[in-house]
Structure formats: structure tokens, C-alpha cells
Chains A and B, each alone.
Chain A
Amino acid sequence: MNAPKENNKTLRRPYKVEQKPLWWLDNSYYFRYMIRESTSLIVLIYGLVIVVGLLRLTQGPYMWQGWVETVSSPLMFPLHLLALLAVVYHAYTWFKLAPRIMALRISGKPVSDQKVEWAHWIVMLGVTVACLLVASCGGALL
């Protein structure tokens, strides 16, 4: 093939805009998305604390007691509070989205988004209460 003639050269020169590193600061919708996603980091940290607790439990009563004292110290209170807020906020955003993913139908009729959302809250509260009951009365039952 011959080289294209000079007058055949395209005059097109599409301008490409690169995504800004801080794209999520320009739009409040994106900002709330980033807050929603970043709650998982706090949950990750709290999860690691719990995993360390399990490890201490396998190392005997002395080590376990040390871990319990550490997590009960007032210095740890902000982490507990932050983790609780992060989980509740994440649950709130997730339960809002869940109905659109589930597209639930009962005998052919679509179930309203509100019902699916409330069902999630009821199940979460039920499981939370059950866990708290087992945690506080479990020793007594044994």
C-alpha cells in the first residue's frame, strides 16, 4: 500500500479528557458513594481486631483476658463507635439498593421496594437481638 496522500489526512483530532484522581469530589452523588464504600475499611479494621481476639482465645485464658481488657479500655471506645456507625450506615445504603437487585416476585406480582427494604431491617434487628441474647445469657445457659 502506498502512503496516504497529504490531502487525505484526517482532520479529526478527538480530545480525550483523563479522569481526575479526585473525580468523586466534584459531585455529591459520587462523594456519598465513596463514603459508602469507605465504611468497609473501618469494618475491615474491626474484623481484624475480632480475628486477633479469636487467636488469643486459642492461646489460653490469660491471653484471652488480656485481649478482653484491651478492647474494653476507654481508648478503644472511638473504634467501637466508629465501627457501629459504619456498619449501620453501610446496612442503610445496602438495604436501599437490595430491592433493585432482588426484583422479588410473589405469585407473579412484584414486591414493593419498601417491603423488601423493611424485611432486611427486620431480619437484621432479629439477628442482632438473638446474638446479644446469646452473648449475654449464653454463659448462664451453659
Chain B
Amino acid sequence: MNSEHDIPNSSTMRVEVQRYRPELDARPWWQAFDVPYTNDTSVLEALQYIKDELDSSLSFRWSCRMAICGSCGFMINGVPKLGCKSFLRDYGALKIAALDNFPIERDLVADISGFVEKLETVKPYLMREDPSDLDTSVPISRAFNQTPQQLSLYKQFSQCINCGICYAACPQFGRDPEFLGPAALTLAYRYNQDSRDQGKKDRMPLLNAEEGVWGCTFVGYCSEVCPKSVDPAAAINQGKAASAIDYALNLVQLGGDK
């Protein structure tokens, strides 16, 4: 290839990496490395080079290398991004840190278990009420057909890979870790929007709560940084409309879910 983006083989980049070794360090600190790179070197590959060739004690999470596992979220020059989807050619120098707003477990490993627990509370799976579907002694034998239009109501929101990048981009979550946050609220809305689901009344109390959709002030940065273009801010704020309608229905006792 001879594009203008071609980088000579000899290029190296100064990569600063945040280190935190709980058994040794009182607080995180920066360690600098010089990493050789080419036109297609990703940030994840740069970290792997450091671990293989320069300092094997560096810890970071990764798995698929193709933006589907959601493991390698880092703060890259202050912006939360997937390491496998960011390339050295787009930067002059690099500062890589663990995702913001989460406790740092070690080096670049953020402890996102708080987010995973929140995700579980919103029941992100199809729930049925019909007695015939609840009988677990027989496998479900009928199809739950969906029109393309019904699919389009939630498809975008179902692309989430649970990387936690939106939480690192959410100042409301940074301020109050109890806030359910972008991904969990988006998944709740995604299942509420699914024509096959009947579990809305179980999820609405969580959405209606102070820590639910109303904790969001539409900063919108979550949607800006989402590597899968899920647009969590849209889901949450459409969830506010649903929550307001639910509240009004409750008020006049026409159903709704408290």
C-alpha cells in the first residue's frame, strides 16, 4: 500500500500506561514505553507488545481483538475507547489508563462488577406471562414471530456488548455509583420495546426510580463514545417518556407499574 497514511517500519511511539499494583503502590502512576508500530497497529497490540517485550507485569483485559467481546475498554488520551478499535496511526502520543468511574483493580483493569450487577437487576432477557410459556417441563414449541417493524423498535439498542465504556463517559454515574447507568437502562428499554416480551411491569419500577432514567441529565457523551453506536442516551430519554406515561397511568389507577 502506498497511501499517505503509510508509516515507515521504523516508527516508534511514546506510550504512557497507567500502572497500579495494589500490593506495591499507594496510588496509580505512569510508566512510559517506546512502542514500534505500523499502519495497522492497534492500541491493544501496543499493550501486548509491552507485555511480551518490555514489561511482563502489565495487566489488562482483552479477548476477541474485533470489537465484539467488550473486554478491552480503556481511557485512551482521556477518551473511553476499545483498545482493539483504536489505532496508533491516529495519535501522536498515547496515554492509556483504566476506564473512568470504576475502581481500578490493577493497572488497566477496571472493576466493572458494579455495572454487571446493575445489568442483572433490570432482567435483560425475554420474560413471558402466558401460563403455557411458563411451564418449564416442556420445551417452548411455538415461534414468536416478529415483523421487521417490530424488530426496528429495539434492534439498535440490542447491539450492546457490555464493555462499560458508556459508564466511563457518564458524569452522573461518576457522581453517584447507585445510578443504573447507560447500558443497564438501555437494555431495560430494549426488552420493554420487544414485542415478544411481557416483563415490562417488572422493569418499570427500576426505570421509574431516582437511580433509574431520571438520574440521567442527557449529557449525551455515552452515545458519542459507544463503539457499537447503540445510542444509550436516546434509549434512556425515550425511557423517560415511557416512565412519565407509566406514572400518569398509576396516578389515575389505570394500570401502570409502581
Contact = CB atoms under 8 A, between A and B. Distances in A.
Contacts of B78: 26-27
Interface string A16-30: 110100011011011
Given A14-B111, A17-B101, 12 more contacts: A12-B105, A13-B22, A15-B20, A16-B103, A17-B100, A23-B174, A27-B78, A30-B219, A33-B219, A37-B217, A97-B220, A100-B234
Interface stretch (B86-94, B122-130, B199-207, B237-245): B237-245
A89 B22 CA distance: 47
A124 interface: no
A100 B237 contact: yes
A120 to B, nearest CB: 15
B238 A103 contact: yes
A20 B237 CA distance: 26
A108 B28 CA distance: 52
Given A15-B104, A108-B149, A29 B175 contact: no
Interface in A54-103: 97, 100-101, 103
B152 interface: yes
Contact of B105 (A14, A30, A100, A110): A14
A15 B237 CA distance: 32
A16 B23 CA distance: 15
B235 to A, nearest CB: 9
Interface in A1-46: 11-17, 19, 23-24, 26-27, 29-30, 33, 37
Contacts, number: 62
B103 A30 contact: no
Given A23-B171, A33-B219, A15 B241 contact: no
A10 to B, nearest CB: 10
B174 A97 contact: no
Contacts of A29: 219-221, 224
Taking residues whose C-beta sits less than 8 angstroms from the other chain, chain A's interface range is 20 to 34
Contacts of A100: 223, 231, 233-234, 237-238
A101 B240 contact: yes
Interface string B170-208: 010011000000000000000000000000000000000
B218 interface: yes
A27 to B, nearest CB: 7
B27 interface: yes
B150 to A, nearest CB: 10
Nearest to B25: A15
A108 B148 CA distance: 10
Given A30-B171, A33-B220, A37-B217, A15 B234 contact: no
A19 B221 contact: no
Interface string B126-161: 000000000000000000000001001000000000
21 contacts: A11-B22, A11-B23, A14-B22, A14-B104, A15-B28, A15-B103, A17-B101, A19-B101, A19-B171, A19-B175, A23-B171, A24-B171, A29-B219, A29-B220, A29-B224, A30-B171, A33-B219, A33-B220, A33-B221, A101-B237, A103-B234
A122 B209 CA distance: 35
Nearest to B26: A15
Contacts of B220: 29, 33, 97
